[in-house]
A = this chain, B = another copy of it.
């Protein structure tokens, strides 16, 4: 309703005639025009352009459609990128909770650390989507408690098992690593208090690959283990999807 009024106001679609009661009456022709308008509106073309479009010869339409196509494609890419970014953000937010690093288990990240992370993020992801958290104060479970020690031990067992795979030259996509990866995914599930989707699990792998604290931990286990673990996780995640 309001839409029709609006289109009348801006002269995009005028009624065929108006009754004595002031009602707007639309006929065949107007309905067809409306149909077109709605279609082009679906394509996110601004109304002003639609107006020009509908009162223009066909070859102009082609041109407008091409322009619009590239706009839409850009939008599509943009949103796909945003989804990836938000995945990383989520993975980082969650990953922070389960981040197996002594520096973070101190309970609060020092400001210097924080600044360092930000510089790293800017350099890593470009300053447009620079620091995704940057809040500075990350609270995690207290270290040294008995359940936490058990969990860390479990994590170590898993990681050492996988590192053994690296040492033996087992490729990271090998199916024989699946049991360990399953255990790892379960470990993450406990850490997040929520089962990660394959996509999220792969996103966590991405974080492992990129985050200096994780790198430090994994390269400390074995050189090249960061990439090996991340690849294995992502392959496994893909097989789960």
Contact = CB atoms under 8 A, between A and B. Distances in A.
A146 interface: no
Interface stretch (A16-24, A131-139, A154-162, A212-220): A131-139
Contact of A135 (B36, B62, B66, B83): B36
A9 interface: no
B43 A72 contact: no
Copies of this chain, whole number: 2
A44 interface: yes
Given A58-B93, A134-B35, A79 B82 contact: no
A42 B128 contact: yes
Interface stretch (A84-92, A101-109, A226-234): A84-92
A36 B133 CA distance: 7
A166 interface: no
A207 to B, nearest CB: 14
B62 A83 contact: no
A58 B90 contact: no
A65 B36 contact: no
A178 B35 CA distance: 40
Interface of A: 32, 35-36, 39, 42-44, 58, 61-62, 65-66, 68-69, 72-73, 75-76, 79-80, 82-83, 85-87, 89-90, 93-94, 128-132, 134-136, 138-139
Given A43-B86, A58-B135, A76-B82, 9 more contacts: A39-B131, A39-B132, A42-B128, A43-B82, A62-B90, A65-B89, A69-B83, A72-B86, A73-B79
